[in-house]
Amino acid sequence: MHPMTIDTGNTGFMLLCSSLVMLMTPGLAFFYGGLVGRKNVLTIMIQSFVSMGWTTVLWYLFGYSLCFSGDWNGIIGNFDMAFLRGVDLMSPSPANNSIPVIVFIAYQMMFAIITPALITGAFANRVTFKSYFLFLTAWLIFVYFPFVHMIWGGGILAKWGVLDFAGGIVVHNIAGMAALASVLFVGKRRAEDRGPHSIPLVALGTGLLWFGWYGFNAGSEFRVDGVTASAFLNTDIAASFAAVTWMIAEWMTTRKPRFLGLLTGAVAGLATITPAAGYVSPTSSVIIGIVAGIVCFFAVALKNKLKWDDALDVWGVHGVGGALGVVLLGILADSAFNPAVGTNGLLFGNSTFFGKQVVAILVSSVWAFVFTYGMLWLINKITPVRVQEEHEVLGLDVVLHGETAYVESL
């Protein structure tokens, strides 16, 4: 490795962004924890928190290497950097040679932690911890790591010209499609969940997610420049417009402006702007936010109509939002807002790029769905995925973990 000159500004910024993305996983735990009933709060929160521990272990052992070292047919990396072999203080990052690779490893690890945790909202209150642990491991290896490599590790989709600024495909679409596969495999909840037990907890989670998302999107530029600032502003604009749009859509259909709708809309807007944040104008972000609010709202309505028991709307918010963002990027990309690596979309005369974005979404959706379904089928042969009915009725916090979130008052 060549000795590098560390840019302290960029490095400091990326350490801050890594911390922000790390905070999103506890944020997600609060978001999901508030949405379930009192008897299952800890069960869903531990599913997020255990990813912080176990995904880090896998990332150190071989995850980083499979994503960013070598290349096998453009699909996955190799084991050359397993156990972070060859990493020293002066190794430059592949994304920007003025920041140490150590910072890049930490930043990308935070993305790996939150992505499988997103899926857990779909099968809330129904899955054994042992099967989730196996699922977490297999899903990272066979779905997440390959897509990181294909898009951000110089693999086949990157070479083809697909763009995904901060994870519309790599994070949200594949997690959302995995959620749908999980729901269809695991089936409906047998014990009625009376809805969110704590909307304030959901609000706390949303606040942490929104705050962390600036690190998620602005940090994906890997340096501090105009694109960083643009991605930051675009993130907030899309989230805000989507939140208000969802609230209005719900107000018109239920005659009441619901806080939960406002919060869900914000997350839908954040998921949808993610792939486009560093490639589009602030005005395009307004469009992306409004479209996200409407489309994700109706995706959730469709899920309810089809009676899919996606408990916390992972497919409708992340799966649909991520896919929508990648397609809208294909339409609205403007190279004036990212002269270095950006391109123009359909609106600016580049229909080829639009086509590539659509194909990439189809590929990632099918891959994530099929692999997830197959994985759950295999895990079910090893250990039951589904909890017993009486356990579901009692609540999984006590049955699986021997703990309760709230002590019943005497």
CA distances from 151 to 165, 236, 294, 398 (A): 10, 25, 28, 41
Q: What is the pTM of this model?
A: 0.95
Q: Cα–Cα distances in Å, from 56 out to 63, 75, 85?
A: 9, 22, 16
SS3 of 280, please? coil
Contact yes or no for 219/41 (Cβ under 8 A): no
**Mean pLDDT score, 45-70:** 97
Whether residue 62 has pLDDT greater than 90: yes
Confidence of residue 1 (pLDDT cuts 50, 70, 90): very low
| pLDDT of 109 | 98
**Is 409 a residue whose pLDDT tops 70?**
no
What pLDDT, on the 0 to 100 scale, is given for residue 394?
87
pLDDT tens-digit series, residues 20-39: 999 999 999 999 999 999 99
* Neighbouring C-beta atoms of residue 56, cutoff 10 Å: 16
Mean pLDDT confidence for 380-391: 90
Rounded to the nearest angstrom, the gap between the alpha carbon of residue 48 and the centroid of all alpha carbons in its chain is: 12
Is the four-CA dihedral 341, 345, 351, 354 of positive or negative sign? positive
Q: So what's the pLDDT on residue 113?
A: 97
Structural domains of the chain ordered from first start = 8-401 (1.10.3430.10)
Let me know the angle formed at the C-alpha of 207 by 206 and 211, rounded to the nearest 5 degrees. Answer: 115
Statement: residue 116 has pLDDT above 70: yes
The pLDDT of residue 82: 95
Query: Which tokens go with 86?
Result: 């060859």
Mean pLDDT of the chain: 94
Q: Could you report the per-residue pLDDT of 244-284, keeping only the tens digit for each?
A: 999 999 999 999 999 999 999 999 999 999 999 999 999 99
